[in-house]
Amino acid sequence: MSDSSDLSATCESGAPVSAGVAGMPQVGNIWLDGRMVPAKEAKVSVFDHGLLYGDGCFEGIRVYNSRIFKLRSHLKRMYASAESIHLKPRWSMDEIEDAIRMTVSDNDIENGYVRLVFTRGVGTLGLNPFHCTEHTAFVIAADIALYPEELYRNGLPVVVAKRRRIPIECLNPEIKSLNYLNNILAKVEAIEAGVLEAIMLNARGEVAECTGDNIFLIKDGKISTPDLTAGMLHGITRQFVIEEVAPSIGHTVEERPHTVDEFFEADEVFLTGTAAEVIGVNRIDSTDIGNGRVGPITTELTAKFRSFVREDATEN
């Protein structure tokens, strides 16, 4: 969290959100366990297992023109994450959908970001999650700004993190859990290298994803991306690009394992994410990608994505 001299906080892809006192996002009210409360009064217990152990799950969701992008897809993934960690929500999917819509409306969010969180709730200092009798749920809705526009025009430099992605056998990354320390430590590598994002490899040395975004490459006009066996989060924006955006401009996307060398040798590389949307990569470590600028297919994908979400921000 930034200090009071810094007027921008960051969401998981590194995109800044508007901030107020001590770096806190400027939010009026938050939905917390069934009621709207002022942001300063929205609190969870120090005995909450979400705080003590990262025991919970979350979703980051975009709002475009007052419409919530892929809301149902996000909710399905959220409830799948909860089921995977044996957390039984006390709120139905429909009730949480209503809570999100209420929070977006209450905070007058026309174009912004929603954070939905389920924590395990208050329990003992031991690990046993079933000593937590009632989980906590809350919804935050805030304004958001993307990466600076020049990065969409000129490209985003990234590095390859030394920190490897946690293997699927240890913690399935398709669970969007509150424990993001693996990603954070790789993010620190990016920050220390003077860039905003880092590519994470899996234990086999294959490309998995970035710290907060999925990754694609283009070679000889063909688009491909790591498949789910690589060990990554099944991104909602990733799937939207595969199923709708790329086909709309005449491209299919191949999902398969990738070596990191393939990305260094690619004609174009781009990232997808809730906050990042679709953004081209111009350099990996010290190697320029293509001619060192955003390529034509990536530029077309970015434009088409923006056209889709601003003209018809589907909520399914």
| Catalytic annotation present for 76 | no
The residue assigned the tokens 């290298």 is 193
**Tokens found for residue 197:** 């994002």
Query: Rounded to an integer, what distance in angstroms lies between the CA atom of residue 313 and that of residue 132?
Result: 38
The residue assigned the tokens 């924006």 is 237
Query: Rounded to an integer, what distance in angstroms lies between the CA atom of residue 209 and that of residue 186?
Result: 11
Task: Measure CA 276 to chain center.
Answer: 8
From 70, 176, 222, 304, active-site residue: 176
**Tokens found for residue 31:** 């939905």
Q: From edge to edge, which strands make up the β-sheet containing 35-38?
A: 35-38, 29-32, 136-143, 112-119, 56-64, 67-68
Q: Which residues 6+ apart lie within 8 Å of 6 measured at CB?
A: 19, 23
Task: Measure CA 118 to chain center.
Answer: 16
The residue assigned the tokens 């294959």 is 206
The answer to whether residues 92 and 86 touch, using CB atoms and an 8 Å cutoff, is no
Task: Measure CA 140 to chain center.
Answer: 15
**Treating both helix axes as pointing N-terminal to C-terminal, what angle do 71-84 and 93-106 enclose, rounded to 10 degrees?**
130
Q: Which amino acid is at 192?
A: E
Q: Which amino acid is at 229?
A: T
Query: Rounded to an integer, what distance in angstroms lies between the CA atom of residue 243 and that of residue 115?
Result: 25
Q: Which residues 6+ apart lie within 8 Å of 253 measured at CB?
A: 216, 223, 224, 225, 241, 242, 246
Tell me which residues are annotated as active site: 176
